[in-house]
Amino acid sequence: MLARVAEPPAGALPTGWRLELARGPFTLDGERRLFAEHGIDCLVTKDSGGEATAAKLRVADEACARVVMIRRPAPPTVWSWFPTRRRR
pLDDT tens per residue, range 7-27: 999 999 999 999 999 998 899
Closest CA to 72 of 48, 45, 37: 48
d(CA 46, CA 49): 9
Hey, which residues does 45 pair with through a beta bridge? 69
pLDDT at site 22: 94
d(CA 80, CA 63): 48
More confident residue, 82 or 70: 70
pLDDT tens, 29-53?
Answer: 999 999 999 999 999 998 877 787 8
In the predicted structure, residue 80 carries a pLDDT above the cut 80: no
pLDDT at site 83: 64
Cα 12 from chain centroid (whole Å): 20
**Helix and strand totals (H; E) in the chain:** 2, 4
